[in-house]
Structure 1
Amino acid sequence: MDFDFADEQVELRQAVSRWLEREYGQQRRRRTMADGGWDSQAWRSFSELGLCGLPIGEAHGGMGMGAIEAMIVMEEFGRHAVPEPLGHAWLGAQLIQRCAPAHMASAWLPRIAAGEAWVALAHQERGHRHVIDRCTAKADRDGEGRFLISGQKDLIPAGDKAQALIVPAMLDGAQALFLVSLPQAAVRMEVYRTVDGRGAATATLRQAEAQCLSADVGALEWGIGLGIAHLCAEAVGLMEHAMALTIAHLNTRQQFGRPLAEFQVLRHRVADMKMEIELSRSMSYWASLGLEAEAPARRLALSQAKYQLSRSMKWVGQQAVQLHGAIGLTDEYGLSDYVRRLYQLEYTFGDGPHHLAILSEAQFADA
């Protein structure tokens, strides 16, 4: 199988990398995170670069690119620890593009591609962990045939900045996806920070007006799979930069009159980090390529990737901190942004044990 990137994909990576190197350094990242993890000017720049509409079809003003291009961009965003939730914005846009009626897609996709709006997936509920087929939010129809949603959804990335939420809710005994436009009085947002310093929100809906996005029971699972593929690519970029910071520290810091990089035991640990990152990269490719497979094979490929990435993210982050010594534990040093983000991603869209259970069930079924 040929894993070489096409010329256009290489140019896309170079363009995104150059812009991030020039415009999105540590100072801007720290300033953005201090302001809640959202920079409106940066989001406009993403739109001007075409990134907001990267997976959106050209008919709706997007670039019409696929999973591999999204993976390339997310790696670069991970390498610079960009706090704005571009991957989550793509997830919402692609759910609309794949599942929504034509009039809904025409109303939202051009706005998303232009950077004027973004739609957040709000699927997590307390007490359900990472299981997506359980849902306590409920949808009712009023006398005029409109849908009204009641329930609570947690850990919505930058939820207070979104112009709409995609909300799973029970309708006539089955789970469906609904689009809830914001702001509206029936939706109350509680904003807080996650462990990686980014903003998140809990949305409490009390008879909030909504439109039915899709009654397909597999739509949410497909969306979560898309989020896993984006997450894996971001994690590869994060781990690569954490290792680069570690190598620079070992080459600079001296002990007993010699750079730390000359001590063989430390070189071996860096080599182990490199091997773990390469394994993660392979599984990230596997996840992005698996998005086009049939549901059972797709589910298996994404759980395999997320399980491996969950292990690698934690291990590489720990090694980076330990090889830095005391400075690796400080928030003032840039490494902390990467390690905290890796820990947050480990528990996003299902942690390691959750996906290991899925893989175990699949093996028992085969047996």
Structure 2
Amino acid sequence: MDFDFSDDQQQLRDAVRKWVDKGYDFDRRRAIVKAGGFDRSVYAQLAELGLAGLYISEDDGGMGMGPIEGMVVMEELGRGIVMEPLAQTLIAGGVISGYAPDAVKAAWLPKIAGGESLVVLAYQEQKARYRLDTCEATATQSGDSWSVTGYKSIVPAGDQADAFLVPANANGKMALFLVEKSASGVAARGYGTQDGSRAAEVAFKSSPATLVTSEGQTALGHAVDIGIAALCAEAVGVLDKTMDVTVEYMNTRKQFGATLSSFQALKHRVADMKMQLELARSMSYYASLKLNAPTDERRRALARAKYQLGVSMRFIGQQSVQLHGGIGVTEEYIVSHYFKKLTQLEMTFGDTLDHLGEVSERMQDTAGVFA
């Protein structure tokens, strides 16, 4: 199998990396965190690069690209620990393109692709933990109109978004709706998260809604899988940069008159970190390559990938902090922010143990071990 990137994909990577290096340095990121964890001008710059329309067809104003391009972009944003939620835009673009009726596509896809509207997935509920089949939000139909009532937790940039993709029970079956933040009955309470970005608790009270699809369970599963693939790629970028910072520190920091990189025991720890990084990278590739596979195959693949990424994120994050010593957990030093990001990513879209259970449930009777 050929794992080389095409010229177009490499050019896309270079463009995003240049933007991160020049337009999103550590000082700017810290300023954004202090200002609340979201900068609309940064999101607009991502849209100007065409990234908001990555999964939207050219006919609808997007770039008409696919999972591999999404992976390339998210890796580079991960290297800069960019907080603006482009992964949520990829989810919105992919789900609306794949499931919504033409009228909804025409109304929303050009605005999403152009960066005019930030649409985020609001699916988590307090009693659901990570289960996708648990939903207490309800939708009521009156003629051709719908309204949604419910409460969603930890919605990324929920107080900054323009609209939400909301799963709700309609006529005894989960459906997926689009609810504008400006609609009546919508209330969002925002707060900062562990990595410095924003999330919100969002309440809907008989809020006017647009039906995206009556096959809400299928669409929600696909939305979460798009998010997991983006998260895996973002995590690889964070891990790459964490490794770079750690190795640079070990090559300059001296102990007992010698650099840390000269101690054999520490070299072995870095070698173990490198192995976990490459395992994470290969599973991120696997996740992106399987993103358009049939549902059962895709769900198995994404659970496997998220499990391995969780293991790698925890190991590399912890080892990096330990190799740095006390400075590794200070607010002023960048590696602590990479560690926070890795910790939050491990808990997003299902933690490591949750996905281990998912992998176990989806194994065949013999798991391919016995004839």
TM-score clears 0.5: yes
Other-structure match for 1:306: 306
- The CA deviation at 1:366 is 5.4
- The CA deviation at 1:363 is 2.1
Match of 1:159, SS state, is coil
Q: Deviations over 1:227-279 (max 9, x none)?
A: 00000000000011111111111111101111111111111111111110000
Other-structure match for 2:144: 145
- The CA deviation at 1:360 is 1.1
Other-structure match for 1:213: 212
Question: Map of 1:23-102 to 2, 5 A cutoff?
Answer: 23-102=23-102
1-structure distance, mates of 2:364, 2:8 = 43
Does the alignment pair 1:178 with 2:187?
A: no
- Letter in structure 1 aligned against 2:51: L
Q: Which moved more, 1:38-47 or 1:285-294?
A: 38-47
Does the alignment pair 1:162 with 2:161?
A: yes
The unaligned stretches of length 5 or more in structure 2 are none
2-structure distance, mates of 1:149, 1:279 = 42
Q: Deviations over 1:118-164 (max 9, x none)?
A: 1100000002110001100001123x431111110001110111111
Match of 1:52, SS state, is helix
Q: Deviations over 1:11-52 (max 9, x none)?
A: 111111111111110011111122222112212211211111
2-structure distance, mates of 1:39, 1:192 = 14
TM-score (norm 2): 0.97
1-structure distance, mates of 2:359, 2:308 = 12
2-structure distance, mates of 1:61, 1:355 = 35
Q: Which moved more, 1:179-188 or 1:167-176?
A: 179-188
- Number of equivalent positions: 366
Runs ≥4 in structure 1, deviation > 4 angstroms?
Answer: 364-367
Other-structure match for 1:224: 224
Identity across aligned pairs (percent)?
48
1-structure distance, mates of 2:73, 2:219 = 24
Match of 2:167, SS state, is strand
CA contact (8 A) 2:194 2:340 kept: yes
1-structure distance, mates of 2:113, 2:56 = 7
1-structure distance, mates of 2:157, 2:227 = 15
Match of 1:83, SS state, is coil
Question: Map of 1:278-357 to 2, 5 A cutoff?
Answer: 278-357=278-357
The unaligned stretches of length 5 or more in structure 1 are none
Match of 1:120, SS state, is strand
1-structure distance, mates of 2:205, 2:71 = 37
Match of 2:363, SS state, is helix
Other-structure match for 2:135: 135
- The CA deviation at 1:87 is 0.9
Match of 1:218, SS state, is helix
Other-structure match for 2:236: 236
Q: Which moved more, 1:30-39 or 1:285-294?
A: 30-39
- Letter in structure 1 aligned against 2:169: M
- Letter in structure 2 aligned against 1:96: I
TM-score (norm 1): 0.98
Match of 2:84, SS state, is coil
- Letter in structure 2 aligned against 1:277: L
CA contact (8 A) 2:184 2:208 kept: no
